[in-house]
A and B are shown apart, each in its own frame.
Chain A
């Protein structure tokens, strides 16, 4: 996610000086932003070669690891914040990674495209999978292996005994707190272990 407005919205949730683990950190833009503007330290985890290179070029600590193989290299509660920004839809087992996020981080921040956004609903009502800025792929050619909704994720957090500290939608970089499941293209959750 390189949209600066979304990046800033996520960054607002991260405490100053936090030790951060960014799962699926992409080209490292968010971590670089957090380092520069919020004095954060930490690591990004990324699988893609080009993204790993981009992180090294930015001077962001990046670890080339496959998230589907777990977070074994990270100790319990060793980060203030674990970020999963637009990562969940690429994971084979999102529930395991959610538990791992809560194990490794004191706080987890999860953001993903909300499939229940009214625009997507309309598209499906018309009998078509949506193609939007947040879900820009054709159904037959997409890196996303799942889609989910704001409401679905709230259930999953509850099932895993995670406390939702904050939850809202993002639309055009603005927080959406009224009917986020309907009104926002992006779902954002801030969680911790109960």
Chain B
């Protein structure tokens, strides 16, 4: 039987102060929960999402049996993070376009849609907002906080902002900050959106248009960086979409789709531009760029991680060049320097950054074993 998910929403009237100095009030967060909170409320696990994801982490909706959560392979009854033993919470971040308050919603202070005026949100702001949700749910301490990529950054930030509020952190395919190349990719994506004539300085809603061209390009470049060279070659190689009757099979056109990889990227771009919000893309990539917990410690990550007291599992993937194993090892080193409990698995998977969302037996088994240990430490109270 499949896990049935039910989206919920909670509204927060009190202003949330943001890293930028601004604040936001009267916002709501969309979330889902799976499993049952045990009597002493010790089995809660918070899942933080990455760029293109939401609170719909696991299961399917009763009326949408094909709409599986983005980490449904990882989380559910009998899965590596077993909802028969843990109470799992998925929450959509502020500024997103999947339900929580975002740029497409009305600013209660002005009565107008936020658009480009939605305050810039940082990873630490998301964590603060998530903490308020946990407060409202009556959860004082998490068994674990878990996330991949940008979600891993949130999990890491949790351990620094609220070190007492979790026993474990599971940080997958993440990094202590973005390097210049990563910021560069984000900037190309942002420029594609901002220079789309339909962007209208972020107030495109009022014009009844969507900067789809920009969103498509942003998604295309993002997608390239989530895959590995090997996987792309294996999947597409130099295969032509439709060979014409000539010696080479080429159409000799500069603008038609010629290679399968072009077709694939255009398809991914088209699909993305239909549902993703342009302002959200700008906000989330900026949150990625700004994340750098070592910054206020003169770049000394070990100093920054001194505050973390929970136990850690880190996982990286060998072919991930966007969040490479070397970046995860920096976090591992920082934790070792502070004599923290940490395990680190470096999975030799071919799928690039996307591997964190895919089924790899070694990856799944390590996560399953780690959560199995946590579950045993709960004394079966779940």
Contacts and interface: CB of A to CB of B under 8 A. Distances in A.
B372 interface: yes
A67 to B, nearest CB: 13
Interface residues of B, number: 22
A5 B197 CA distance: 75
Contact of B365 (A41, A53, A60, A73): A53
Given A63-B343, A64-B346, A57 B373 contact: yes
Given A43-B336, A57-B373, A73-B336, A52 B329 contact: no
A125 interface: no
Contacts of B347: 49
B332 A73 contact: yes
Nearest to B311: A61
Contact of B370 (A19, A56, A65, A74): A56
Contacts of A19: 339
A59 interface: yes
B343 A61 contact: yes
A49 B329 CA distance: 17
Given A61-B342, A64-B345, A73 B370 contact: no
Contacts of A49: 347-348, 362
B362 A74 contact: no
Nearest to B374: A59
A140 to B, nearest CB: 26
A74 B343 contact: no
A52 B342 contact: no
Contacts of A55: 343
Given A73-B333, A75-B337, A53 B343 contact: no
Given A53-B365, A56-B373, A57-B372, A74 B344 contact: no
B364 to A, nearest CB: 10
B117 interface: no
A62 interface: yes
Contacts of A78: 336-337
Contacts of B369: 53, 56-57
B140 interface: no
Contacts of A59: 373
A81 B299 CA distance: 30
B341 interface: yes
B53 interface: no
B373 A74 contact: no
A48 to B, nearest CB: 11
A101 B9 CA distance: 54
Interface in A49-89: 49, 52-53, 55-57, 59-65, 72-75, 78
B343 A62 contact: yes
Contacts of B16: none
B339 A52 contact: no
B366 A56 contact: yes
Interface in B353-370: 362, 365-366, 369-370
A56 B336 contact: no
| Majority DSSP secondary structure for residues of A touching B | mixed
Contacts of A75: 336-337
Nearest to B346: A64
A64 B339 contact: no
Interface in B23-78: none
A74 B329 CA distance: 11
Instruction: Name the residue in B332, B343, B346 with the highest tally of chain A Cβ atoms < 10 Å from its Cβ.
Output: B343
B365 A62 contact: no
A90 to B, nearest CB: 18
Contacts of A43: 336, 342
Contacts of B343: 55-56, 60-63
A74 B332 CA distance: 10
B344 A63 contact: yes
Contact of A52 (B333, B337, B345): B345
B316 to A, nearest CB: 9
Given A56-B373, A73-B336, A74-B336, A63 B342 contact: yes
Contacts of A62: 343-344
A128 B370 CA distance: 46
A60 B347 CA distance: 18
A62 B342 CA distance: 7
Instruction: Name the residue in A49, A53, A64 with the highest tally of chain B Cβ atoms < 10 Å from its Cβ.
Output: A64
Given A64-B345, A73-B329, A52 B336 contact: no
A62 B347 CA distance: 13
Contacts of B372: 57
A151 to B, nearest CB: 35
Given A57-B373, A73-B336, 18 more contacts: A43-B342, A49-B347, A49-B362, A53-B362, A53-B365, A56-B313, A57-B372, A60-B343, A61-B342, A63-B332, A63-B342, A64-B344, A64-B345, A73-B329, A73-B332, A73-B333, A75-B336, A78-B336
Q: Which 4 interchain pairs have the tightest Cβ spacing?
A: A56-B369, A73-B333, A57-B369, A64-B346
9 contacts: A49-B348, A52-B366, A53-B365, A53-B366, A56-B345, A56-B370, A59-B373, A61-B342, A63-B336
